Structure 1
Protein backbone atom coordinates (compact mmCIF):
# COMPACT_ATOMS: atom_id res chain seq x y z
CA UNK A 1 0.00 0.00 0.00
CA UNK A 2 1.39 3.40 -1.00
CA UNK A 3 1.64 5.65 2.07
CA UNK A 4 1.20 9.04 0.40
CA UNK A 5 -2.60 8.90 0.09
CA UNK A 6 -2.53 10.73 -3.25
CA UNK A 7 -4.41 8.13 -5.31
CA UNK A 8 -6.75 9.88 -7.76
CA UNK A 9 -5.49 13.33 -6.73
CA UNK A 10 -4.34 15.84 -9.36
CA UNK A 11 -0.90 17.35 -8.70
CA UNK A 12 0.85 20.08 -10.69
CA UNK A 13 4.65 20.20 -10.98
CA UNK A 14 6.49 23.14 -12.55
CA UNK A 15 9.97 22.51 -13.89
CA UNK A 16 9.10 18.83 -14.12
CA UNK A 17 11.16 17.71 -17.11
CA UNK A 18 14.44 17.09 -15.25
CA UNK A 19 16.10 16.84 -11.85
CA UNK A 20 14.00 17.13 -8.71
CA UNK A 21 10.88 17.98 -10.70
CA UNK A 22 11.14 14.85 -12.84
CA UNK A 23 11.81 12.69 -9.77
CA UNK A 24 8.75 14.22 -8.16
CA UNK A 25 6.57 13.35 -11.17
CA UNK A 26 7.86 9.76 -11.04
CA UNK A 27 6.99 9.36 -7.36
CA UNK A 28 3.58 10.97 -7.82
CA UNK A 29 2.71 8.56 -10.61
CA UNK A 30 3.90 5.65 -8.47
CA UNK A 31 1.54 6.94 -5.76
CA UNK A 32 -1.39 6.83 -8.20
CA UNK A 33 -1.77 10.58 -8.66
CA UNK A 34 -2.84 12.32 -11.83
CA UNK A 35 0.04 14.62 -12.80
CA UNK A 36 0.41 17.70 -14.99
CA UNK A 37 3.94 19.01 -15.40
CA UNK A 38 5.51 21.75 -17.45
CA UNK A 39 8.86 23.06 -18.63
CA UNK A 40 10.19 25.66 -21.04
CA UNK A 41 12.34 23.39 -23.22
CA UNK A 42 10.05 21.54 -25.64
CA UNK A 43 12.53 18.82 -26.61
CA UNK A 44 13.42 18.01 -23.01
CA UNK A 45 9.75 18.08 -22.00
CA UNK A 46 8.73 15.67 -24.77
CA UNK A 47 11.63 13.36 -23.93
CA UNK A 48 10.61 13.29 -20.26
CA UNK A 49 6.98 12.64 -21.19
CA UNK A 50 7.95 9.74 -23.48
CA UNK A 51 10.05 8.11 -20.75
CA UNK A 52 7.26 8.49 -18.20
CA UNK A 53 4.59 7.10 -20.52
CA UNK A 54 6.78 4.10 -21.30
CA UNK A 55 7.24 3.40 -17.60
CA UNK A 56 3.66 4.25 -16.58
CA UNK A 57 1.50 3.31 -19.59
CA UNK A 58 -1.76 3.67 -17.64
CA UNK A 59 -0.82 7.02 -16.10
CA UNK A 60 -3.10 10.05 -16.31
CA UNK A 61 -0.42 12.51 -17.36
CA UNK A 62 -0.23 15.90 -19.05
CA UNK A 63 2.99 17.57 -20.20
CA UNK A 64 2.83 21.10 -21.57
CA UNK A 65 5.38 23.72 -22.56
CA UNK A 66 4.95 26.66 -20.23
CA UNK A 67 6.96 29.65 -19.05
CA UNK A 68 6.10 30.13 -15.36
CA UNK A 69 6.96 33.84 -15.62
CA UNK A 70 4.29 34.34 -18.30
CA UNK A 71 0.78 34.74 -16.90
CA UNK A 72 -0.96 33.84 -20.17
CA UNK A 73 1.15 30.70 -20.61
CA UNK A 74 0.30 29.64 -17.06
CA UNK A 75 -3.41 30.33 -17.55
CA UNK A 76 -3.38 28.06 -20.60
CA UNK A 77 -1.55 25.34 -18.65
CA UNK A 78 -3.97 25.60 -15.72
CA UNK A 79 -6.99 25.36 -18.03
CA UNK A 80 -5.52 22.40 -19.93
CA UNK A 81 -4.66 20.48 -16.77
CA UNK A 82 -8.11 21.02 -15.27
CA UNK A 83 -9.81 19.91 -18.48
CA UNK A 84 -7.65 16.79 -18.76
CA UNK A 85 -7.18 15.76 -15.14
CA UNK A 86 -9.61 17.70 -12.98
CA UNK A 87 -8.90 20.47 -10.46
CA UNK A 88 -5.52 20.53 -8.77
CA UNK A 89 -5.22 19.36 -5.20
CA UNK A 90 -1.52 20.14 -4.90
CA UNK A 91 0.94 22.49 -6.61
CA UNK A 92 4.70 21.92 -6.56
CA UNK A 93 6.71 25.03 -7.46
CA UNK A 94 10.07 23.76 -8.67
CA UNK A 95 11.20 26.09 -11.47
CA UNK A 96 14.42 28.10 -11.19
CA UNK A 97 18.18 27.72 -10.73
CA UNK A 98 21.04 29.60 -9.08
CA UNK A 99 23.08 32.57 -10.29
CA UNK A 100 26.80 32.71 -9.47
CA UNK A 101 27.82 36.32 -8.77
CA UNK A 102 29.16 38.53 -6.00
CA UNK A 103 27.72 41.89 -4.93
CA UNK A 104 30.43 43.70 -6.89
CA UNK A 105 29.72 41.97 -10.20
CA UNK A 106 25.91 41.68 -10.02
CA UNK A 107 24.36 44.30 -12.29
CA UNK A 108 20.96 45.90 -11.81
CA UNK A 109 19.60 43.80 -14.68
CA UNK A 110 20.97 40.64 -13.05
CA UNK A 111 19.35 41.57 -9.73
CA UNK A 112 16.03 42.18 -11.48
CA UNK A 113 16.24 38.90 -13.40
CA UNK A 114 17.03 36.87 -10.29
CA UNK A 115 14.38 38.44 -8.07
CA UNK A 116 11.81 38.15 -10.86
CA UNK A 117 12.60 34.47 -11.37
CA UNK A 118 12.64 33.42 -7.72
CA UNK A 119 9.49 35.30 -6.71
CA UNK A 120 7.28 35.19 -9.78
CA UNK A 121 8.05 31.53 -10.55
CA UNK A 122 6.01 30.97 -7.37
CA UNK A 123 3.60 33.91 -7.40
CA UNK A 124 2.26 33.35 -10.91
CA UNK A 125 1.63 29.58 -10.61
CA UNK A 126 -0.09 30.13 -7.26
CA UNK A 127 -2.33 32.75 -8.84
CA UNK A 128 -3.06 30.49 -11.82
CA UNK A 129 -4.07 27.47 -9.72
CA UNK A 130 -5.58 29.14 -6.65
CA UNK A 131 -9.17 28.84 -7.84
CA UNK A 132 -8.66 25.09 -8.35
CA UNK A 133 -7.00 24.54 -4.99
CA UNK A 134 -9.75 26.28 -3.06
CA UNK A 135 -12.31 23.79 -1.84
CA UNK A 136 -10.13 20.74 -2.54
CA UNK A 137 -9.59 18.33 0.35
CA UNK A 138 -6.05 18.49 1.75
CA UNK A 139 -5.03 21.24 -0.69
CA UNK A 140 -1.31 21.94 -0.60
CA UNK A 141 1.40 24.12 -2.13
CA UNK A 142 5.05 23.09 -1.88
CA UNK A 143 7.96 25.34 -2.88
CA UNK A 144 11.42 24.01 -3.63
CA UNK A 145 13.92 26.36 -2.01
CA UNK A 146 17.58 26.29 -1.07
CA UNK A 147 19.60 26.23 2.13
CA UNK A 148 20.92 29.58 0.85
CA UNK A 149 17.77 31.05 2.40
CA UNK A 150 19.42 30.47 5.80
CA UNK A 151 23.10 30.33 4.86
CA UNK A 152 23.91 32.95 2.19
CA UNK A 153 26.99 32.43 0.06
CA UNK A 154 28.99 35.52 -1.03
CA UNK A 155 29.50 34.07 -4.52
CA UNK A 156 25.71 33.71 -4.92
CA UNK A 157 24.58 36.98 -3.40
CA UNK A 158 21.49 37.62 -5.54
CA UNK A 159 20.25 34.04 -5.33
CA UNK A 160 20.83 33.92 -1.56
CA UNK A 161 18.84 37.12 -1.02
CA UNK A 162 16.01 35.92 -3.25
CA UNK A 163 15.92 32.52 -1.55
CA UNK A 164 15.56 34.19 1.86
CA UNK A 165 12.68 36.25 0.49
CA UNK A 166 10.99 33.12 -0.88
CA UNK A 167 11.21 31.45 2.53
CA UNK A 168 9.43 34.46 4.02
CA UNK A 169 6.84 34.39 1.23
CA UNK A 170 6.01 30.74 2.02
CA UNK A 171 5.22 31.66 5.61
CA UNK A 172 3.17 34.68 4.55
CA UNK A 173 1.11 32.59 2.11
CA UNK A 174 0.66 29.88 4.74
CA UNK A 175 -0.92 32.35 7.16
CA UNK A 176 -3.14 33.93 4.52
CA UNK A 177 -4.25 30.72 2.76
CA UNK A 178 -5.06 28.85 5.98
CA UNK A 179 -8.52 30.44 5.87
CA UNK A 180 -9.09 28.52 2.62
CA UNK A 181 -7.65 25.29 4.10
CA UNK A 182 -4.64 25.44 1.75
CA UNK A 183 -1.34 24.47 3.34
CA UNK A 184 1.93 26.05 2.13
CA UNK A 185 5.34 24.57 2.91
CA UNK A 186 8.78 24.25 1.38
CA UNK A 187 11.98 22.26 1.34
CA UNK A 188 15.52 23.64 1.69
CA UNK A 189 17.96 21.67 -0.43
CA UNK A 190 21.72 21.61 -0.13
CA UNK A 191 23.88 20.15 -2.88
CA UNK A 192 21.74 17.81 -4.99
CA UNK A 193 22.90 16.00 -8.12
CA UNK A 194 21.76 17.99 -11.14
CA UNK A 195 22.59 18.95 -14.68
CA UNK A 196 24.51 21.94 -13.34
CA UNK A 197 26.81 19.71 -11.26
CA UNK A 198 27.19 17.30 -14.18
CA UNK A 199 28.36 20.18 -16.39
CA UNK A 200 30.86 21.25 -13.75
CA UNK A 201 32.08 17.67 -13.55
CA UNK A 202 32.60 17.55 -17.32
CA UNK A 203 34.66 20.76 -17.09
CA UNK A 204 36.77 19.48 -14.15
CA UNK A 205 40.54 19.90 -14.15
CA UNK A 206 41.31 16.59 -12.38
CA UNK A 207 40.37 14.19 -15.18
CA UNK A 208 41.44 11.09 -13.25
CA UNK A 209 38.45 11.37 -10.90
CA UNK A 210 35.20 9.68 -11.80
CA UNK A 211 31.78 11.08 -10.83
CA UNK A 212 31.59 9.37 -7.43
CA UNK A 213 35.15 10.40 -6.51
CA UNK A 214 34.65 13.97 -7.70
CA UNK A 215 31.37 14.42 -5.80
CA UNK A 216 32.87 12.83 -2.68
CA UNK A 217 35.68 15.38 -2.79
CA UNK A 218 33.12 18.14 -3.33
CA UNK A 219 31.12 16.96 -0.32
CA UNK A 220 34.28 16.94 1.76
CA UNK A 221 35.20 20.49 0.71
CA UNK A 222 31.68 21.67 1.50
CA UNK A 223 31.72 19.86 4.88
CA UNK A 224 28.59 17.80 4.21
CA UNK A 225 28.33 15.38 7.16
CA UNK A 226 26.76 12.58 5.08
CA UNK A 227 29.74 12.78 2.70
CA UNK A 228 27.87 12.91 -0.61
CA UNK A 229 25.51 14.95 -2.76
CA UNK A 230 21.80 14.39 -2.39
CA UNK A 231 19.75 12.55 -4.99
CA UNK A 232 16.79 14.20 -6.76
CA UNK A 233 14.56 11.39 -5.46
CA UNK A 234 15.51 12.21 -1.87
CA UNK A 235 14.33 15.79 -2.30
CA UNK A 236 11.20 14.56 -4.12
CA UNK A 237 10.28 12.29 -1.21
CA UNK A 238 10.20 15.29 1.13
CA UNK A 239 8.05 17.17 -1.39
CA UNK A 240 5.57 14.32 -1.59
CA UNK A 241 5.25 14.22 2.19
CA UNK A 242 4.40 17.94 2.27
CA UNK A 243 2.03 17.65 -0.68
CA UNK A 244 0.19 14.70 0.80
CA UNK A 245 -2.36 14.28 3.61
CA UNK A 246 0.47 12.77 5.70
CA UNK A 247 1.42 16.37 6.57
CA UNK A 248 -2.17 17.55 7.11
CA UNK A 249 -1.26 19.55 10.25
CA UNK A 250 1.88 21.16 8.80
CA UNK A 251 1.93 24.62 7.19
CA UNK A 252 4.41 27.47 7.01
CA UNK A 253 7.27 25.01 7.52
CA UNK A 254 10.40 23.91 5.69
CA UNK A 255 12.10 20.51 5.60
CA UNK A 256 15.91 20.57 5.49
CA UNK A 257 17.20 18.20 2.79
CA UNK A 258 20.90 19.05 2.92
CA UNK A 259 22.68 15.98 4.30
CA UNK A 260 23.44 17.83 7.52
CA UNK A 261 25.02 20.86 5.82
CA UNK A 262 22.74 23.25 7.70
CA UNK A 263 24.40 25.10 10.57
CA UNK A 264 21.04 26.26 11.94
CA UNK A 265 18.98 24.44 14.54
Structure 2
Protein backbone atom coordinates (compact mmCIF):
# COMPACT_ATOMS: atom_id res chain seq x y z
CA UNK A 1 0.00 0.00 0.00
CA UNK A 2 1.27 3.44 -0.92
CA UNK A 3 1.49 5.48 2.28
CA UNK A 4 1.44 8.74 0.28
CA UNK A 5 4.62 9.96 1.94
CA UNK A 6 6.56 10.62 -1.25
CA UNK A 7 7.78 14.21 -1.63
CA UNK A 8 6.57 15.13 1.84
CA UNK A 9 8.96 16.30 4.57
CA UNK A 10 9.38 14.93 8.06
CA UNK A 11 11.52 15.93 11.04
CA UNK A 12 12.87 13.09 13.17
CA UNK A 13 14.77 13.75 16.39
CA UNK A 14 17.34 11.32 17.72
CA UNK A 15 18.10 9.92 14.28
CA UNK A 16 21.57 8.47 14.80
CA UNK A 17 20.58 5.01 16.06
CA UNK A 18 17.80 2.64 17.01
CA UNK A 19 14.20 3.61 16.32
CA UNK A 20 15.14 7.10 15.13
CA UNK A 21 17.57 5.84 12.51
CA UNK A 22 15.16 3.12 11.39
CA UNK A 23 12.41 5.75 11.01
CA UNK A 24 14.68 7.97 8.92
CA UNK A 25 15.48 4.99 6.68
CA UNK A 26 11.81 4.02 6.38
CA UNK A 27 10.70 7.52 5.41
CA UNK A 28 13.48 7.90 2.86
CA UNK A 29 12.54 4.53 1.37
CA UNK A 30 8.97 5.81 1.02
CA UNK A 31 10.25 8.75 -1.02
CA UNK A 32 9.99 11.40 1.66
CA UNK A 33 12.49 14.09 2.58
CA UNK A 34 13.83 13.96 6.14
CA UNK A 35 15.49 16.43 8.49
CA UNK A 36 17.00 14.73 11.49
CA UNK A 37 19.26 15.53 14.41
CA UNK A 38 21.40 14.04 17.15
CA UNK A 39 23.85 15.48 19.62
CA UNK A 40 26.74 13.76 17.84
CA UNK A 41 26.57 15.15 14.32
CA UNK A 42 29.42 13.04 12.95
CA UNK A 43 27.84 9.83 14.21
CA UNK A 44 24.51 10.88 12.71
CA UNK A 45 25.99 11.58 9.29
CA UNK A 46 27.83 8.25 9.27
CA UNK A 47 24.73 6.33 10.36
CA UNK A 48 22.56 7.82 7.62
CA UNK A 49 25.21 7.17 4.99
CA UNK A 50 25.18 3.53 6.10
CA UNK A 51 21.40 2.95 5.96
CA UNK A 52 20.51 5.31 3.09
CA UNK A 53 23.59 5.87 0.91
CA UNK A 54 21.50 7.08 -2.04
CA UNK A 55 19.39 9.61 -0.12
CA UNK A 56 21.33 12.52 -1.56
CA UNK A 57 19.73 15.91 -1.02
CA UNK A 58 16.54 14.37 0.41
CA UNK A 59 18.09 14.25 3.88
CA UNK A 60 19.31 17.02 6.17
CA UNK A 61 21.33 15.91 9.20
CA UNK A 62 22.34 18.41 11.87
CA UNK A 63 23.85 18.36 15.33
CA UNK A 64 21.26 19.43 17.92
CA UNK A 65 20.20 18.84 21.50
CA UNK A 66 16.41 18.79 21.74
CA UNK A 67 16.60 20.36 25.20
CA UNK A 68 18.02 23.50 23.59
CA UNK A 69 15.32 25.66 21.99
CA UNK A 70 17.77 27.39 19.66
CA UNK A 71 19.10 24.05 18.38
CA UNK A 72 15.58 22.82 17.67
CA UNK A 73 14.52 26.06 16.02
CA UNK A 74 17.55 25.81 13.72
CA UNK A 75 16.63 22.22 12.83
CA UNK A 76 13.07 23.17 11.86
CA UNK A 77 14.17 26.31 10.00
CA UNK A 78 16.74 24.28 8.13
CA UNK A 79 14.10 21.76 7.10
CA UNK A 80 11.74 24.48 5.86
CA UNK A 81 14.50 26.30 3.99
CA UNK A 82 15.76 23.10 2.34
CA UNK A 83 12.47 21.39 1.55
CA UNK A 84 9.87 24.18 1.51
CA UNK A 85 7.86 23.08 4.55
CA UNK A 86 7.23 20.17 6.88
CA UNK A 87 4.42 17.64 7.05
CA UNK A 88 5.27 15.70 10.18
CA UNK A 89 7.38 15.41 13.28
CA UNK A 90 8.66 12.35 15.13
CA UNK A 91 9.76 13.08 18.68
CA UNK A 92 12.13 10.22 19.29
CA UNK A 93 15.13 11.66 21.17
CA UNK A 94 15.39 10.16 24.62
CA UNK A 95 16.59 7.20 26.61
CA UNK A 96 16.07 5.18 29.77
CA UNK A 97 17.59 5.72 33.20
CA UNK A 98 18.15 2.35 34.86
CA UNK A 99 17.98 3.06 38.59
CA UNK A 100 15.58 2.28 41.48
CA UNK A 101 13.86 5.04 43.43
CA UNK A 102 16.35 5.76 46.20
CA UNK A 103 19.33 5.54 43.89
CA UNK A 104 17.87 8.28 41.68
CA UNK A 105 19.07 11.72 42.72
CA UNK A 106 17.00 14.88 42.45
CA UNK A 107 19.35 16.02 39.70
CA UNK A 108 18.61 12.76 37.85
CA UNK A 109 14.90 13.47 38.14
CA UNK A 110 15.32 16.98 36.74
CA UNK A 111 17.42 15.66 33.85
CA UNK A 112 14.94 12.92 32.98
CA UNK A 113 11.92 15.20 33.09
CA UNK A 114 13.73 17.88 31.09
CA UNK A 115 14.58 15.43 28.33
CA UNK A 116 11.10 13.91 28.11
CA UNK A 117 9.17 17.20 28.30
CA UNK A 118 11.40 19.95 26.94
CA UNK A 119 12.57 17.64 24.16
CA UNK A 120 8.98 17.37 22.91
CA UNK A 121 7.70 20.85 23.72
CA UNK A 122 10.65 22.56 22.04
CA UNK A 123 10.18 20.68 18.78
CA UNK A 124 6.41 20.97 18.72
CA UNK A 125 6.55 24.69 19.43
CA UNK A 126 9.13 25.25 16.70
CA UNK A 127 7.25 23.13 14.16
CA UNK A 128 3.56 23.75 14.82
CA UNK A 129 3.21 26.85 12.66
CA UNK A 130 4.79 25.12 9.68
CA UNK A 131 2.86 21.91 10.28
CA UNK A 132 -0.43 23.81 10.26
CA UNK A 133 0.26 24.76 6.65
CA UNK A 134 0.37 21.09 5.60
CA UNK A 135 -2.73 19.26 4.36
CA UNK A 136 -1.68 16.11 6.28
CA UNK A 137 0.19 17.26 9.38
CA UNK A 138 1.05 14.62 11.95
CA UNK A 139 3.14 14.31 15.11
CA UNK A 140 4.24 10.98 16.53
CA UNK A 141 5.70 10.86 20.02
CA UNK A 142 7.84 7.82 20.71
CA UNK A 143 7.07 6.64 24.22
CA UNK A 144 7.04 3.32 26.07
CA UNK A 145 4.66 0.90 27.77
CA UNK A 146 6.31 2.17 30.95
CA UNK A 147 3.93 5.11 30.62
CA UNK A 148 1.08 2.80 31.65
CA UNK A 149 2.98 0.05 33.41
CA UNK A 150 5.66 1.44 35.77
CA UNK A 151 8.91 -0.45 36.18
CA UNK A 152 10.63 -0.16 39.57
CA UNK A 153 14.02 -0.56 37.92
CA UNK A 154 13.26 2.49 35.76
CA UNK A 155 11.45 4.64 38.27
CA UNK A 156 12.23 8.13 36.93
CA UNK A 157 11.82 7.11 33.31
CA UNK A 158 8.48 5.46 34.07
CA UNK A 159 7.13 8.60 35.73
CA UNK A 160 8.44 10.86 32.97
CA UNK A 161 6.93 8.68 30.27
CA UNK A 162 3.56 8.68 32.03
CA UNK A 163 3.67 12.46 32.00
CA UNK A 164 4.60 12.51 28.32
CA UNK A 165 1.63 10.28 27.50
CA UNK A 166 -0.65 12.71 29.29
CA UNK A 167 0.98 15.66 27.50
CA UNK A 168 0.57 13.92 24.14
CA UNK A 169 -3.16 13.57 24.74
CA UNK A 170 -3.38 17.27 25.60
CA UNK A 171 -1.45 18.18 22.45
CA UNK A 172 -3.87 16.16 20.34
CA UNK A 173 -6.70 18.45 21.47
CA UNK A 174 -4.69 21.67 21.45
CA UNK A 175 -3.38 21.20 17.89
CA UNK A 176 -6.58 19.78 16.37
CA UNK A 177 -7.99 19.87 13.79
CA UNK A 178 -4.98 20.85 11.66
CA UNK A 179 -2.37 18.59 13.29
CA UNK A 180 -2.82 15.00 14.43
CA UNK A 181 -0.86 13.76 17.49
CA UNK A 182 -0.37 10.11 18.40
CA UNK A 183 1.94 8.02 20.56
CA UNK A 184 3.82 4.81 19.91
CA UNK A 185 4.49 2.82 23.07
CA UNK A 186 7.57 0.64 22.87
CA UNK A 187 8.31 -2.56 24.68
CA UNK A 188 11.69 -4.27 24.58
CA UNK A 189 13.19 -3.16 21.28
CA UNK A 190 16.63 -4.46 20.29
CA UNK A 191 18.55 -1.22 19.88
CA UNK A 192 22.01 -0.17 20.89
CA UNK A 193 20.86 0.24 24.50
CA UNK A 194 20.17 -3.46 24.90
CA UNK A 195 23.42 -4.39 23.20
CA UNK A 196 25.27 -2.17 25.66
CA UNK A 197 23.46 -3.65 28.64
CA UNK A 198 24.34 -7.13 27.44
CA UNK A 199 28.00 -6.17 27.11
CA UNK A 200 27.99 -4.56 30.55
CA UNK A 201 26.30 -7.58 32.14
CA UNK A 202 29.42 -9.71 31.71
CA UNK A 203 27.21 -12.67 30.72
CA UNK A 204 29.32 -15.19 28.84
CA UNK A 205 26.35 -16.75 27.06
CA UNK A 206 25.28 -15.81 23.53
CA UNK A 207 23.10 -12.70 23.23
CA UNK A 208 20.09 -14.87 22.25
CA UNK A 209 20.22 -16.77 25.55
CA UNK A 210 20.51 -13.55 27.55
CA UNK A 211 17.62 -12.09 25.51
CA UNK A 212 15.44 -15.11 26.23
CA UNK A 213 15.87 -14.66 29.98
CA UNK A 214 14.98 -10.96 29.73
CA UNK A 215 11.79 -11.45 27.72
CA UNK A 216 10.70 -14.36 29.93
CA UNK A 217 11.17 -12.21 33.03
CA UNK A 218 9.16 -9.34 31.49
CA UNK A 219 6.41 -11.62 30.14
CA UNK A 220 6.74 -10.76 26.45
CA UNK A 221 4.09 -12.83 24.65
CA UNK A 222 6.03 -13.03 21.38
CA UNK A 223 9.11 -14.29 23.25
CA UNK A 224 11.69 -11.97 21.68
CA UNK A 225 12.90 -8.40 21.49
CA UNK A 226 11.30 -6.25 18.84
CA UNK A 227 13.26 -4.66 16.00
CA UNK A 228 13.65 -0.97 15.28
CA UNK A 229 12.29 -1.41 11.75
CA UNK A 230 9.09 -2.92 13.20
CA UNK A 231 8.57 0.31 15.11
CA UNK A 232 9.44 2.48 12.11
CA UNK A 233 6.74 0.83 10.01
CA UNK A 234 4.08 1.80 12.56
CA UNK A 235 5.44 5.34 12.82
CA UNK A 236 5.27 5.72 9.05
CA UNK A 237 1.65 4.60 9.03
CA UNK A 238 0.70 7.13 11.73
CA UNK A 239 2.45 9.90 9.79
CA UNK A 240 0.71 8.87 6.59
CA UNK A 241 -2.38 10.64 5.24
CA UNK A 242 -3.87 7.11 5.28
CA UNK A 243 -4.25 7.64 9.07
CA UNK A 244 -6.09 10.92 8.60
CA UNK A 245 -8.81 10.11 11.17
CA UNK A 246 -6.44 8.87 13.88
CA UNK A 247 -5.40 11.27 16.64
CA UNK A 248 -4.99 11.26 20.41
CA UNK A 249 -4.38 7.55 20.56
CA UNK A 250 -1.58 5.11 21.33
CA UNK A 251 -0.26 2.14 19.40
CA UNK A 252 1.81 -0.45 21.25
CA UNK A 253 4.77 -2.05 19.53
CA UNK A 254 5.66 -4.25 22.45
CA UNK A 255 5.23 -7.91 21.57
CA UNK A 256 2.32 -8.31 24.00
CA UNK A 257 4.29 -7.26 27.08
CA UNK A 258 1.54 -5.11 28.58
CA UNK A 259 -0.41 -6.48 31.52
CA UNK A 260 -3.18 -3.91 31.48
CA UNK A 261 -6.35 -3.81 29.38
TM-score, shorter chain, exceeding 0.5: yes
- Show the counterpart of 1:26: 25
Q: Deviations over 1:67-105 (max 9, x none)?
A: 111111111111111111121100000000011222222
TM-score of the superposition, structure 2-length normalised?
Answer: 0.96
Note if contact 1:29-1:59 (Cα within 8 Å) is conserved in structure 2.
no
- Show the counterpart of 1:144: 142
TM-score of the superposition, structure 1-length normalised?
Answer: 0.95
CA shift in 2, pair 1:52/1:206, >3 Å: closer
CA shift in 2, pair 1:210/1:260, >3 Å: same
- Show the counterpart of 1:5: 4
Residue 215 of structure 1 deviates from its aligned partner by 1.2
SS in 1 for 2:103: coil
C-alpha distance in 2 between matches for 1:119 and 1:261: 25
Note if contact 2:13-2:93 (Cα within 8 Å) is conserved in structure 1.
yes
C-alpha distance in 2 between matches for 1:124 and 1:57: 27
Q: Deviations over 1:104-133 (max 9, x none)?
A: 222211111111111111000001111110
Picking from 168, 174, 177, the partner of 1:176 is 174
- Show the counterpart of 2:37: 38
CA shift in 2, pair 1:59/1:80, >3 Å: closer
Task: Note if 1:232 corresponds to 2:228.
Answer: yes
Which runs of no fewer than 5 residues in structure 1 stay unpaired? none
Between the two proteins, the alignment pairs up a number of residues equal to: 261
Which runs of no fewer than 5 residues in structure 2 stay unpaired? none
C-alpha distance in 1 between matches for 2:23 and 2:232: 5
Note if contact 1:67-1:73 (Cα within 8 Å) is conserved in structure 2.
yes
C-alpha distance in 1 between matches for 2:170 and 2:237: 21
Note if contact 2:138-2:179 (Cα within 8 Å) is conserved in structure 1.
yes
- Show the counterpart of 1:158: 156
What is the root-mean-square deviation of aligned Cα atoms in Å?
1.3
